A and B are shown apart, each in its own frame.
Chain A
Amino acid sequence: MSLYLSIAIIALIFIVIFQIAKASEYVSILKGEEESRKQNNKINGFLMVVFLVLGLVGVYLCNVYLYPKTLLAQGAASVQGEKVDQMLFITLAITGIVFVITQILLFWFAYKYQENENRKVFFFAHSTKLELIWTAIPAITLTVLVVFGLRNWFFFTGEAPKNAMVIEVTGKQFGWIFRYPGHDAIFGKKYYKNIDPATNSVGIIWDDKYSQDDILTEQTMYVVKGTPVKLIIGSRDVVHDVGLSHFRLKMDAVPGIPTTMWFTPLYTTKEMREKTGNPNFAYEISCDQMCGNGHYSMKGIIEVVDQEEYDLWMAKQKPQYYTAFPDKDPTAVPAAATTDSTAKVASAKM
């Protein structure tokens, strides 16, 4: 009912506006078209300045209100992120100046040079000098931005430092799987046809001796504050993207083609909770590439901790090999499970 009512009201508003507009057309014919055209010209010329002033004030207010909500206000949480932020501000300064100047000129000219019978227009078809000036200035400015940008780009995409901790990240619909290489610091080989969602979610080849100490976790990844982290990123099904807004980085996860990204976290999760004043703060991994209906809920968490806490956490992790083959697990009590697990091994090999 209320729906029909609101449709009726909206329709009524439209009809009213429409009738007024039509009436104004008749009035203009009565008044003389030339006369009313001039009047309209004045009104629109005036609105140009109004729009300019309100617009610039709006831009300022928008910044006052929204800037604190952007993550820029709390600062980046990685070495890379700080460089991104620095570049953001340089780019903002340059484009901001151009924005303000050109918008002022545009609306000011529109206002100032609105039709006036006494003005003789200036026949000004071209000027090589002016054209050269505004080819050269943008070109020089852009060179500065390109140089800054590429220096950072090559730093971001360059080799990770030798001491970097290496973690493999695999995206799937709709979640994240993390693999640590274990004591040997080498990942076991994997093949996607070995994937078993229950015990081997990334398709590790168990025959590879390096694979047996690999550790798999889901949803939460632990990294150490101040230690560079290198991610080897892949996907199990469609294209995903590891989006790290607090670290200001992202990289696609493409099935069949591994990609890499590295960063050095600067603050632990706890420190960020204090810094932002938000007790629920978390480093969230957002999937930034459309991956299906659950795309919006594909969340992972990065826990940044200090070395001590990391070692404690790591000590508690069990290699995935023992989850897949509980009978091989030295810590588990061997006995009843034996027959059961051989059946599983047989089925896994099929």
Chain B
Amino acid sequence: MSHEEVLHSHEGHGHDDHGHHEHHETFLSKYVFSMDHKMIAKQFLITGMVWAVLGGLMSVLFRLQLGYPEASFPWLESILGKWAKGGQITPEAYYALVTTHGTVLVFFVLTAGLSGTFANFLIPLQIGARDMASPFMNMLSYWFFFTASIIMLSSMFVETGPFSGGWTAYPPLSALGDASPGSKSGMDLWIIAMALFIVSSLLGGLNYIATILNMRTKGMSMTRLPLTIWALFFTAVLGVLSFPVLLSGMILLIFDRNFHTSFYLSDIFVNGVGALSNEGGSAILYQHLFWFLGHPEVYIILLPAMGMVSEIMSVNSRKPIFGYMAMLGSLFAIAVLAFLVWAHHMFVTGLNPFLGSIFVLLTLLIAVPSAIKVFNWLTTLWRGNIRFTPGMLFAIGFVSLFISGGLTGIWLGNAALDIHLHDTYFVIAHFHIVMGVASMFGMFAGVYHWFPKMYGRYMNNSLAYIHFWVTLAGAYLIFWPMHYEGLAGMPRRYFDFSIWESFKMFADLNRFISTVAMIVFAAQLLFLMNFFYSIFKGRKVTTLNPWQANTLEWTTPIRPGHGNWPGEIPEVHRWPYDYGKDGQDFIPQDVPVGANESHGH
């Protein structure tokens, strides 16, 4: 079947089908086991938000320890029990909090919560499809994620505690229950949760790819896709190619833990236990497998944010995104390079120096497409007519953070500097700014921008403005000074610095950072209040296209049903960025090209 035929047959099919759906919807099929991509997106979003709150709360707790190592807080004991005896968090609990914070934020919030939400929500709406290629697989993807979430949550209640060896879970620490209590049953649950999570993201990813390649509406050629879709496409490809490697690494870890194999273990003597029989394994092998996913994972998190920022920035500057093809090319370059740089996380593991030098070169090469993206965003703003909607503010914030965090990547990617800065607070500052906060900003931008499409109501602007400015200023106040701690060599994952002559001079600074972190966390609650209040009580959307945007999702009804368009799916005649063309403010994608229109994209 040719490409055209697929499009047509699907269109006709979808048209016939429609209407049936709304008749037999029950509560269960509409809100719980839904196969509507929009509902699944909301499920991902809200589960992600629950995890974001839990993960954020964990960071508040361990920042409390870092900021006030000497103080004791009796109320901590009442909520944490034996993990905070006498009102002071124990090292065990501290490490469990740090580990779970990392795992949850990286995987459950910024992978599932971000690309799960927006890939599901935007792909069918923006390419002009009635749903995903396989709505059932899409539903499964969410429920695997949900199950993973439940198991991860339950690991926090086992007697020996949740896993506490860092989110990267390097063996032998993660393989030996005798080396750390968190590596006992807490770690088994952690691995199972991660395995289910990987299944979820593979089911999702395959679906996104299939949908984008096969189900675009008539006229929607690949180069007429909004950049959001391109970003989500590359994200899905990265995930599908790299997550299986992590899964295999985890399976080997399960074998080492439970079946006495020696993939990662060799020459080990554990205090109080004695010499283990394992010989011949390599602890470094795990790091290769982990980072082969781990580095693409950074882009799995970042690319959807980049895509959404490009779209939102163009809409609100009332100006086409500058250099569409360059944006696309740089996305592609980043996606390819993402697979060739993993060992820059391993410069100080005793890696062959020659191999290290290749990874330096490839890593710094990523700065080129990143720079192209930044300059293109700046040029998009230049001579535009900017509307500061909350989504736009967060998009601008994203670019600022991406610049700040991206530039420190040039430091860390250079092995000769990494040899000093590796595993210090400089790294914490770098990846929290560029991957953590920046992607969060992308996510906030997306939520504020597409909320009217999701719920048919607006969020409150004043709250959004407060949320934005507090979060942007707070993010810099928290993470900027951490660079200085890192330059002093202050190591990450330390429970207490007071015994270190080399690092204890930062005690005041740590207290400052902790205080700001708590305020910024509180500001996120404003967002939550705004979000949930607006779902039910927000100002109603009264026009189809509140942002006056070009993309197809704004041609659907204000509250689209399952199937998205009540009639036929609109045909696409142009690229999505005709803003300010020929003196017209905007020309939606479904408007045919006029007779005397100037030649555009």
> Residues of A with Cβ closer than 8 Å to B?
3, 10, 14, 17-18, 20-22, 24-25, 28-29, 37, 40-41, 43-45, 47-48, 51, 55, 58-59, 62, 66-67, 69-72, 81, 83-84, 87-88, 91, 94-95, 98-99, 102-103, 105-107, 109-110, 113-116, 119-127, 130-131, 134-135, 137-139, 142, 145-146, 148-150, 152-154, 156-158, 172-173, 192-193, 195, 197, 203, 233, 236-239, 241, 243, 245-246, 248-252, 254-260, 278, 280-282, 284, 286-297, 299
Q: For residue B313, give the distance in angstroms from its CB to the closest CB of chain A.
A: 10
5 shortest interchain CB distances as A-B pairs: A245-B489, A256-B266, A259-B350, A121-B580, A157-B353
> What chain A residues lie within 8 Å of B601 (beta carbons)?
125
Nearest chain B CB to A169 CB, angstrom units:
13
| Tally of B interface residues using CB under 8 Å | 133
Closest Cβ of chain B: how far from A97's Cβ, in Å? 10
Residue from B267, B357, B460, B579 within 8 A of A256 (CB atoms):
B267
- 14 further contact pairs, Cβ within 8 A, besides A25-B539, A157-B356: A45-B388, A62-B481, A102-B374, A106-B399, A110-B388, A113-B382, A131-B372, A131-B376, A138-B367, A156-B416, A252-B349, A255-B172, A257-B266, A294-B91
Given the interface contacts A138-B368, A245-B502, does A25 sit within 8 Å of B526 by beta carbon? no
Question: Would A131 and B423 be within 8 Å (CB), given that A41-B387, A103-B403, A114-B386 are in contact?
Answer: no
Which residues of chain A come closer than 8 Å to B283, judged between CB atoms? Answer: 239, 254-257
Interface pair B180/A17, CB less than 8 Å apart: no
Across the interface, do B472 and A116 meet the contact criterion of CB distance under 8 Å?
no
The answer to whether A72 touches B487 (Cβ under 8 A) is yes
Q: How far is the CB of B82 from chain A (nearest CB, A)?
A: 14
Q: For the complex, give the distance between the alpha carbons of A47 and B600 in Å.
A: 35
Which B residues, 327 to 349, have Cβ-Cβ distances below 8 Å to chain A?
348-349
Task: Report the nearest A residue to B539, measured CB to CB.
Answer: A25
Contact (A293, B95) CB under 8 Å given A98-B407, A286-B489: yes
Determine the residue in chain A with the shortest Cβ distance to B166: A290
Question: Could you tell me if B581 and A123 are in contact, using CB atoms closer than 8 angstroms?
Answer: yes
B387 — which chain A residues lie within 8 A by C-beta? Answer: 37, 41, 115
Asked if B350 contacts A69 (CB within 8 A), the reply is no
Q: Point out the residues of chain A lying under 8 angstroms from B424, CB to CB.
A: 288
Indicate if the CB atoms of B385 and A115 lie closer than 8 Å.
Answer: yes
CA distance A10 to B523 in the complex (A): 11
Partner of A142, one of B176, B368, B493, B533: B368
Q: Tell whether, in the assembled complex, residue B75 and residue A3 are in contact, meaning their CB atoms are under 8 Å apart.
A: yes
Decide yes or no: A125 and B324 within 8 Å by CB, A255-B267, A259-B349 being known contacts: yes
Q: Does B271 contact A (CB under 8 A)?
A: yes
B493 contact set on A, CB distance < 8 A:
290, 295-296
In angstroms, Cα B503 to Cα A99, docked, is 27
Q: Is B86 an interface residue (CB 8 A)?
A: no
CA distance A295 to B494 in the complex (A): 7
A153 to B477, CA, bound (A): 33
Q: List 16 A-B contacts (CB under 8 A).
A: A84-B419, A106-B381, A113-B384, A115-B387, A126-B324, A146-B361, A153-B416, A173-B270, A193-B275, A236-B269, A238-B171, A243-B491, A246-B502, A256-B283, A287-B491, A293-B91
